[in-house]
Structure formats: structure tokens, C-alpha cells
Amino acid sequence: MTFPPSAPPLTDVKRVLGVFAHPDDADFGAGGTVARWVAEGLEVSYLLVTRGDSGGFDDTPRDQMPLLREAEQRAAAAEVGVAEVEFLDGYRDGYLTPTIELRRDITRAIRRFRPDRILTTSPLRRWERIAGPSHPDHLAVGEATTCAVYPDARNPFAFPELGADGLEPWVVREVWYSGGPNPDHVVDVTDTFDVKLAALARHATQTRHLDDLRRVLRSRMELLARDAGLPEGHLAEAFTIIHTA
């Protein structure tokens, strides 16, 4: 199972909502692209399902981790120019599945932010590289978000309790998936690579032990750019784009 070829990106997008399982997912997968969108005038917000309470690589007290990582994500979002960051409560890092409750919480955020475009992680596993992008939480959030885009957010009869909150149905017209198999829509992020790195540096609990993060990211992103036919030395992030309307 894989994605169809990407649709061309919509040209009249004003608002984007990024939906992610953990602090740092947005910045690792799409930080350069988000910084570009903000520079182009798009309004970008994030919805985080967890505070990454199972993350970290040292002896930081475990009860501190969610507090640290929420602050890190807010600081990283400020680096790339993301306007608003909302965290859901009640979900644990490592325990996510695409439940009806998660679909309802994402639907609530979609109806509140009213995005034209959603950015999220792929619900499809990348079998050739199961560590990282194919973390089960990423797959679960990708699946729950896709279900929230269609049918939940646009169906006036889904989750009637949201209607009681005054949240009207909303049609998200486009979804960008990161971390999936064979991503074929490449964004040239050469000019925003340093912003992406600055955002990743804010995720200190996740990145301070990585001495060669710049070099590793550069070589991976150069390869993506080269495979897409971009000029030598350019850097890229890659996605799959689906139209949903």
C-alpha cells in the first residue's frame, strides 16, 4: 500500500494547521517548509497530541519531560514563525491509536482553526526505514487526522457536541503528509535550512546529544534535492500531497 502521485499544491491557501504526535515532529519533518510558508504570508498553527513525555536521552526527571518539551515546542514554533501552538490533554506519548476521541479532538481543532491545508505525519508505514518516521504514534496521528479531515470535520452530523460549542463544519481541501513512503513533492528549503536548525536546537532534550545534526540533516536533504533535480548543493524536504475536496 502506498500513496498515489502527489496532487499539485493549492495556490490559494491562507491557513495551515500542523497536527503532530510529539514536540519536534514538525521541525524534523517540515521545519524548512513551514518557515517558507510563513515567509510567504501563510498563517500556520500547530496542534500537538502529546507533550512527548516518553522522549529524552538523559537522566532528566521524567515528570519534568512534558513541561520541558512543551516549552521547547513553543520556542521552536516561534523560530519558524508559527502563530499558535495548542496541546491536547489526556494522551500519552507511545500510547496513541486513531480512536474516536482523538478524531473528535482533532476535528474540534480543525473547526476552530479552519485551515485550507493540513500538515501531518503519514498514516502509511515506510517499511524500508521503520525507525523515526514510522513511529506508531506518527501513524496513528496521520490516520486520525485523515479521518478528521474526511468525514468528521465537514459532516454537520458528526460529533454533535461540537456543534453545541458553536463550531461549524469545515472542509480542509488539502493534506500534506511527511515521513511516508516515496514522498514525491519536494520543497526547496535551502534558504530556510538555518531556521530549521535553530528550531531543532530549541528541542534540547531531543537534539543536544546529536553532535553532527547539521551534517546528517544536510546530507539527507541534499540527496532529496538531487533526486528531485534541484541544483547541486540545494536542500529539500519531501511530502505527499492529497486533495480532499
CA distance 153 to 110: 7
- Shortest separation between residue 171's beta carbon and Zn ion, angstroms: 28
H or E element, residue 205: helix 204-207
- Shortest separation between residue 205's beta carbon and Zn ion, angstroms: 13
Q: Which residues inside 206-245 make contact with Zn ion, applying CB under 5 A?
A: none
**What's the distance, CA 18 to chain centroid?**
5
- Shortest separation between residue 234's beta carbon and Zn ion, angstroms: 26
Rule CB under 5 A: say whether 93 interacts with Zn ion.
Answer: no
H or E element, residue 193: helix 193-202
Toward Zn ion, which CB reaches closer, 119 or 225?
119
Q: Which residues inside 19-48 make contact with Zn ion, applying CB under 5 A?
A: 22, 25
Toward Zn ion, which CB reaches closer, 14 or 92?
92
Toward Zn ion, which CB reaches closer, 42 or 139?
139
Toward Zn ion, which CB reaches closer, 25 or 143?
25
Beta-bridged to residue 185, according to DSSP, are 239
H or E element, residue 144: helix 136-149
- Shortest separation between residue 138's beta carbon and Zn ion, angstroms: 6
Rule CB under 5 A: say whether 203 interacts with Zn ion.
Answer: no
* Distant-in-sequence, close-in-space partners of 105: CB < 8 Å, separation ≥ 6: 49, 88
Rule CB under 5 A: say whether 69 interacts with Zn ion.
Answer: no
Burial class (CB in 10 A: 0-12, 13-18, 19+), 163: middle
CB-closest chain residue to Zn ion: 22
C-alpha cell at 15: 491557513
Binding site for Zn ion (CB under 5 A): 22, 25
